[in-house]
Structure 1
């Protein structure tokens, strides 16, 4: 029998399922709306598993904090269109809230109970794949805590409160004014969003990255024909410059380039009212490191038309 666009729209409005899924459901049930709803419900997990092979590199970063800790979460979807969907945003918001009560590991968050139900976060996301019609995944979670002080959050390219394309956490340990510490930590978080440092201190920079830079600088210096003792000094100077560029505490502070972040923190102690230590940062940029599939849009449209 012929399935009308109005029937497809009605079923989509009732279930939130994708257009092609609704059309298939109606075809399988001879246009019986209630039977089509049941068909979609029973096929939801199967559809989710089928969609799970597609690359999910869009989505949202969520952040949340309490008095002495904060979390940053990345939940991926296939398209930016879904990331603007209220239902998807609610999922990210709830997952982020759940993460705050865990140890901050991705595994713990995935296994935690989703708010307002009995299912896990992982199963709730899987169910939502069938409803929203795209592959989605909880990709990663990060958490920072302090014994006293504050952990500030910052969202860049925000689409809603605490949701956006990049999330940053910065932790400051201090016995001073926590709100003053949080205000300064938020400024540092904005700095981190802009500069993307590799590490908090020089000692924390990955050893392979340090070796690679030294080898490159040494090879460049040798091309100048300088003797080895001079080359060694040239490399030392270049490495100091390298650390100034990639180490957070050594970077020129974006809000006041005359000071390093370390010096700006020292100056902020006046407002904080006690010594303060920047103990950590996390920076999640949406989709970083995910190899996106290149799709043939014309072929996708043709396949949908045949469906």
Structure 2
């Protein structure tokens, strides 16, 4: 039986909590595959799991996104076969590994036109953008969306997605360089969260009206300002906690600020049905192959440097996507 170098959490904590073990690779059981990774995506949700913000049953694997080649399949697996190039976002944690045995259901076939690194950079982030723009609230060409943070892996995909569909996206990011990067990728305007007032600038850019939708992945530090950036009857999509968990608040605040709507979705609810996942992935891949979305990978690290990748992401010292290479 072969083994694979695998990240394991025996306790939650800082990046130093990531331990490494040589884990055996048994033959896949019914509904499972043996997958050899070629690239692994790093996402902020990995930090939530590692830190304990999202509780885990320990010991646990780490990582939700990867791409590679199937080496073996178990009984009953029909939609993928040995030798297939595949990618995934979701399923049991454990992507930080050279290879793994995992359920086949989260896997989608990867078109030859998309590299393993591109897939590891776009699956979780791109599917997140898909559900934000197409499955949460109706967003039409000409609508104005405020997106933050706009210069990370998810934000840069969102900028491109909005541009491809005629949606005006105002991107908020930390610093002039990150704002310029967001504009380069399709943001119509940007707000520098280090030097400008988020809500006041969003209202100025909309002639005092406010934006139709806010997509906020920052969380605690921007929550109230994001609500204040909305027009009456606007929608706040709080989809991440990069700055920490949003504090409890009086629901009456939504009424006082203009009968606002608020939702806190997760990608994994949207892709729980494998048939829905495959449709979403096909639409995402179509945008990548057409060139409407070009995944930007600014950080490539060996798998063994996962802790350093987490430190950089937490320090907001990254742009675009980070991938780990086994």
TM-score when scaled to structure 2? 0.23
Structure having the larger proportion of residues in strand: 2
Select the structure of larger CA radius of gyration: 1
TM-score when scaled to structure 1? 0.24
